[in-house]
Amino acid sequence: MNRFEKCNCQLDPTLVCSKHTCQCKVCKTEGNTAVCSWRIAHLEYLTKKMPNLKLKEEEGNLTYMQIMEMHAREIGGQVPQSARERSLLNIMAFLNQPVDGSDLILDLTQTISWCQDRTDGVVPTIATKSRLFCVAQGNELSCGQLMDLMGVPTDANFNNLTPATVRKVLGNMMHIGDVGMMRGVAFGLRTSLLF
Ligand SMILES: [Zn+2]
Ligand SMILES: [Zn+2]
Protein backbone atom coordinates (compact mmCIF):
# COMPACT_ATOMS: atom_id res chain seq x y z
CA MET A 1 0.00 0.00 0.00
CA ASN A 2 1.32 3.40 -0.94
CA ARG A 3 0.97 5.61 2.13
CA PHE A 4 0.72 8.71 -0.06
CA GLU A 5 -2.18 7.24 -2.00
CA LYS A 6 -5.40 9.17 -1.40
CA CYS A 7 -8.06 7.46 0.69
CA ASN A 8 -11.45 7.25 -0.95
CA CYS A 9 -13.34 5.39 1.78
CA GLN A 10 -16.78 6.92 1.36
CA LEU A 11 -20.08 6.63 3.15
CA ASP A 12 -21.34 4.60 0.19
CA PRO A 13 -19.95 1.12 0.95
CA THR A 14 -20.03 0.14 -2.72
CA LEU A 15 -17.35 2.69 -3.61
CA VAL A 16 -13.98 0.94 -3.57
CA CYS A 17 -10.99 2.75 -2.06
CA SER A 18 -7.73 1.95 -3.83
CA LYS A 19 -5.75 2.57 -0.63
CA HIS A 20 -7.89 0.38 1.66
CA THR A 21 -8.73 -2.67 -0.39
CA CYS A 22 -10.89 -5.52 0.87
CA GLN A 23 -9.18 -8.82 1.65
CA CYS A 24 -12.22 -11.09 1.59
CA LYS A 25 -12.21 -14.29 -0.50
CA VAL A 26 -14.25 -12.77 -3.34
CA CYS A 27 -12.06 -9.67 -3.60
CA LYS A 28 -8.87 -11.73 -3.42
CA THR A 29 -9.91 -13.95 -6.32
CA GLU A 30 -11.90 -11.53 -8.45
CA GLY A 31 -10.33 -8.21 -7.53
CA ASN A 32 -12.19 -5.48 -5.64
CA THR A 33 -15.49 -5.75 -7.45
CA ALA A 34 -17.60 -4.11 -4.71
CA VAL A 35 -19.88 -7.13 -4.51
CA CYS A 36 -18.42 -8.72 -1.38
CA SER A 37 -21.05 -9.63 1.19
CA TRP A 38 -20.20 -6.95 3.78
CA ARG A 39 -20.62 -4.15 1.22
CA ILE A 40 -24.10 -5.40 0.35
CA ALA A 41 -25.00 -5.80 4.04
CA HIS A 42 -23.72 -2.27 4.84
CA LEU A 43 -25.71 -0.76 1.99
CA GLU A 44 -28.86 -2.57 3.08
CA TYR A 45 -28.38 -1.44 6.69
CA LEU A 46 -27.81 2.20 5.74
CA THR A 47 -30.76 2.25 3.33
CA LYS A 48 -33.02 0.71 5.97
CA LYS A 49 -31.97 3.26 8.61
CA MET A 50 -32.17 6.25 6.24
CA PRO A 51 -34.48 5.43 3.31
CA ASN A 52 -34.34 9.01 1.97
CA LEU A 53 -30.56 9.34 2.04
CA LYS A 54 -29.03 10.28 -1.32
CA LEU A 55 -25.62 8.65 -1.22
CA LYS A 56 -24.52 10.46 -4.37
CA GLU A 57 -24.83 13.77 -2.47
CA GLU A 58 -22.51 12.49 0.27
CA GLU A 59 -19.73 11.67 -2.20
CA GLY A 60 -16.57 13.66 -1.56
CA ASN A 61 -17.62 14.67 1.99
CA LEU A 62 -15.05 13.92 4.65
CA THR A 63 -15.84 10.65 6.37
CA TYR A 64 -15.37 9.82 10.05
CA MET A 65 -12.33 7.70 9.25
CA GLN A 66 -10.67 10.46 7.25
CA ILE A 67 -11.26 12.95 10.09
CA MET A 68 -9.86 10.46 12.61
CA GLU A 69 -6.77 10.02 10.45
CA MET A 70 -6.20 13.78 10.45
CA HIS A 71 -6.22 13.71 14.26
CA ALA A 72 -4.54 10.32 14.74
CA ARG A 73 -1.48 11.88 16.35
CA GLU A 74 -3.56 13.83 18.89
CA ILE A 75 -5.77 10.90 19.86
CA GLY A 76 -2.79 8.55 19.89
CA GLY A 77 -4.91 5.82 18.40
CA GLN A 78 -4.53 3.29 15.65
CA VAL A 79 -7.12 4.04 13.01
CA PRO A 80 -8.48 0.78 11.52
CA GLN A 81 -7.09 -0.03 8.06
CA SER A 82 -9.52 -2.79 7.10
CA ALA A 83 -11.97 -1.71 4.39
CA ARG A 84 -14.91 -3.39 6.19
CA GLU A 85 -14.13 -1.84 9.58
CA ARG A 86 -13.65 1.60 8.05
CA SER A 87 -16.98 1.39 6.27
CA LEU A 88 -18.69 0.13 9.45
CA LEU A 89 -17.34 3.08 11.44
CA ASN A 90 -18.13 5.62 8.72
CA ILE A 91 -21.75 4.46 8.61
CA MET A 92 -22.24 4.20 12.39
CA ALA A 93 -20.65 7.61 12.99
CA PHE A 94 -22.84 9.12 10.26
CA LEU A 95 -25.96 7.69 11.90
CA ASN A 96 -24.94 8.98 15.35
CA GLN A 97 -24.03 12.61 14.77
CA PRO A 98 -22.55 14.57 16.41
CA VAL A 99 -20.10 11.82 17.32
CA ASP A 100 -18.07 13.89 19.79
CA GLY A 101 -21.12 14.11 22.05
CA SER A 102 -22.16 10.52 21.48
CA ASP A 103 -21.58 7.54 23.78
CA LEU A 104 -21.47 5.24 20.78
CA ILE A 105 -19.42 2.13 21.30
CA LEU A 106 -19.50 -0.94 19.05
CA ASP A 107 -17.81 -4.24 18.36
CA LEU A 108 -15.67 -4.03 15.21
CA THR A 109 -15.47 -7.79 14.80
CA GLN A 110 -19.20 -8.31 14.27
CA THR A 111 -21.28 -7.82 11.13
CA ILE A 112 -23.10 -4.50 10.88
CA SER A 113 -26.43 -5.82 12.15
CA TRP A 114 -24.75 -7.58 15.11
CA CYS A 115 -22.14 -5.02 16.14
CA GLN A 116 -24.21 -4.01 19.19
CA ASP A 117 -23.90 -0.27 18.64
CA ARG A 118 -24.70 1.00 22.14
CA THR A 119 -25.31 4.63 23.04
CA ASP A 120 -26.85 4.11 26.47
CA GLY A 121 -23.65 3.91 28.50
CA VAL A 122 -23.68 0.12 28.37
CA VAL A 123 -20.75 -1.62 26.72
CA PRO A 124 -21.47 -4.41 24.19
CA THR A 125 -21.03 -7.97 25.42
CA ILE A 126 -17.35 -8.87 25.38
CA ALA A 127 -16.76 -12.00 23.31
CA THR A 128 -13.44 -13.83 23.05
CA LYS A 129 -12.36 -11.88 19.96
CA SER A 130 -14.23 -8.61 20.57
CA ARG A 131 -12.62 -5.33 19.61
CA LEU A 132 -14.71 -2.57 21.12
CA PHE A 133 -14.36 0.85 19.52
CA CYS A 134 -15.33 4.10 21.24
CA VAL A 135 -16.36 6.44 18.42
CA ALA A 136 -16.15 9.76 20.33
CA GLN A 137 -12.56 8.98 21.39
CA GLY A 138 -11.64 7.42 18.04
CA ASN A 139 -10.00 4.58 19.89
CA GLU A 140 -10.27 0.89 20.50
CA LEU A 141 -10.64 -0.17 24.15
CA SER A 142 -7.36 -1.53 25.46
CA CYS A 143 -6.90 -4.83 27.22
CA GLY A 144 -6.57 -2.94 30.55
CA GLN A 145 -9.86 -1.11 29.94
CA LEU A 146 -11.61 -4.41 29.20
CA MET A 147 -10.20 -5.84 32.43
CA ASP A 148 -11.57 -2.83 34.32
CA LEU A 149 -14.98 -3.35 32.74
CA MET A 150 -15.05 -6.99 33.80
CA GLY A 151 -14.07 -6.07 37.35
CA VAL A 152 -10.62 -7.67 37.04
CA PRO A 153 -7.78 -5.72 38.73
CA THR A 154 -5.47 -4.37 36.01
CA ASP A 155 -2.46 -5.73 37.92
CA ALA A 156 -3.97 -9.24 37.93
CA ASN A 157 -1.37 -11.92 37.24
CA PHE A 158 -2.24 -13.81 34.08
CA ASN A 159 1.09 -15.64 34.05
CA ASN A 160 2.50 -13.61 31.19
CA LEU A 161 -0.35 -14.41 28.82
CA THR A 162 -0.37 -12.36 25.63
CA PRO A 163 -2.95 -9.54 25.40
CA ALA A 164 -4.86 -11.60 22.79
CA THR A 165 -5.12 -14.53 25.21
CA VAL A 166 -6.15 -12.25 28.10
CA ARG A 167 -8.91 -10.86 25.85
CA LYS A 168 -10.03 -14.44 25.19
CA VAL A 169 -10.10 -15.16 28.93
CA LEU A 170 -12.12 -11.97 29.54
CA GLY A 171 -14.56 -12.95 26.78
CA ASN A 172 -15.21 -16.25 28.54
CA MET A 173 -15.73 -14.59 31.93
CA MET A 174 -19.03 -13.69 33.48
CA HIS A 175 -19.32 -10.26 35.07
CA ILE A 176 -19.87 -10.28 38.82
CA GLY A 177 -23.07 -8.21 38.33
CA ASP A 178 -24.54 -10.96 36.13
CA VAL A 179 -23.66 -13.61 38.69
CA GLY A 180 -25.51 -11.60 41.35
CA MET A 181 -28.57 -11.28 39.12
CA MET A 182 -28.57 -15.02 38.31
CA ARG A 183 -28.34 -15.88 42.00
CA GLY A 184 -31.26 -13.54 42.68
CA VAL A 185 -33.38 -15.18 39.96
CA ALA A 186 -32.41 -18.70 41.10
CA PHE A 187 -33.23 -17.82 44.72
CA GLY A 188 -36.58 -16.34 43.64
CA LEU A 189 -37.44 -19.49 41.67
CA ARG A 190 -36.49 -21.74 44.57
CA THR A 191 -38.62 -19.69 46.98
CA SER A 192 -41.60 -19.73 44.60
CA LEU A 193 -41.33 -23.53 44.33
CA LEU A 194 -41.34 -23.91 48.11
CA PHE A 195 -44.53 -21.87 48.67
ZN1 LIG B 1 -9.65 4.45 2.16
ZN1 LIG C 1 -14.36 -8.08 -0.33
Q: What pLDDT, in 10s, does the model give residues 3-31?
A: 567 899 999 999 999 999 999 988 988 88
Nearest ligand atom owner, CA of 16 = 1
> What's the 89 CA to ligand 1 centre distance in angstroms?
12
What confidence tens digit (pLDDT) does each residue in 96-141 have? 999 888 899 999 999 999 999 999 988 898 889 999 999 988 889 9
CB 47 within 8 A of CB 76: no
> What's the 101 CA to ligand 2 centre distance in angstroms?
32
Sorted by where each begins, the domain ranges of the chain are 1-99
For the chain, percent helix, then strand, then coil, each to nearest 5? 45, 5, 50
CA dihedral 19, 25, 31, 36 (to 10 degrees): -80
Q: What is the pTM of this model?
A: 0.84
User: Which residues, chain by chain, have CB under 5 Å from ion ligand 1?
Assistant: 7, 9, 17, 19-20
What confidence tens digit (pLDDT) does each residue in 162-191 have? 888 888 888 888 776 666 666 676 767 666
Q: What are phi and psi of 103, to 5 degrees?
A: -95, 15
> What's the 19 CA to ligand 2 centre distance in angstroms?
14
> What's the 8 CA to ligand 1 centre distance in angstroms?
5
> What's the 29 CA to ligand 2 centre distance in angstroms?
9
